[in-house]
Homo-oligomer: A and B are copies of this chain.
Amino acid sequence: MKFSSRSHYGLRAMVALARSYPRGPVPLAEIARSEDISFSYLEQLMASLRRAGLVGSTRGVHGGYQLTDAPAEVTVGQVLRALEGPIAPAECASETGNSVFCDRETDCPSKTFWENLRDNIAQVVDATTLADLCPGDTVKVP
């Protein structure tokens, strides 16, 4: 049971962006360097985050990426879903609709468990914001 490196790297990158919010766009090369992530790989992660609307990008010489919303408004759940898709500890217990595939459907006791676990994970990731992961930063009212 693991989250992929996409999530680990992606979350770290988002925290990095949160720390320099709202000071204009940050070039990827800078994040790649400070977080020690492959530049090309990070590019792909940012593409997913951009498509999800979590970050905005600016091209050109002083371009880069920046959060579209304040760190306190962005949940870790949003980040993880953008990077890994819906939370689903089991095929039969995905957040998004029905990945029908198991014929047990209605009365599978295990399914009930997996759904319960899924909801619990969702509750945790949705209750944590990027601001919570930026210790020392007093972004909120001083």
What is A's interface to B at a CB cutoff of 8 Å?
1-4, 7-8, 11-12, 15, 76, 80, 84, 87-91, 107-110, 112-114, 116-117, 120-121, 124-125, 128, 132-135
Contact = CB atoms under 8 A, between A and B. Distances in A.
Given A8-B90, A11-B110, A133-B113, A3 B1 contact: yes
B133 A12 contact: no
Contact of A15 (B8, B76, B84, B110): B110
Nearest to A81: B1
Contacts of A133: 109-110, 112-113
18 contacts: A1-B1, A1-B3, A1-B84, A1-B89, A1-B121, A2-B89, A2-B90, A2-B91, A3-B89, A8-B110, A8-B114, A11-B110, A12-B108, A12-B110, A110-B133, A117-B125, A120-B124, A121-B121
Contacts of A121: 1, 117, 120-121
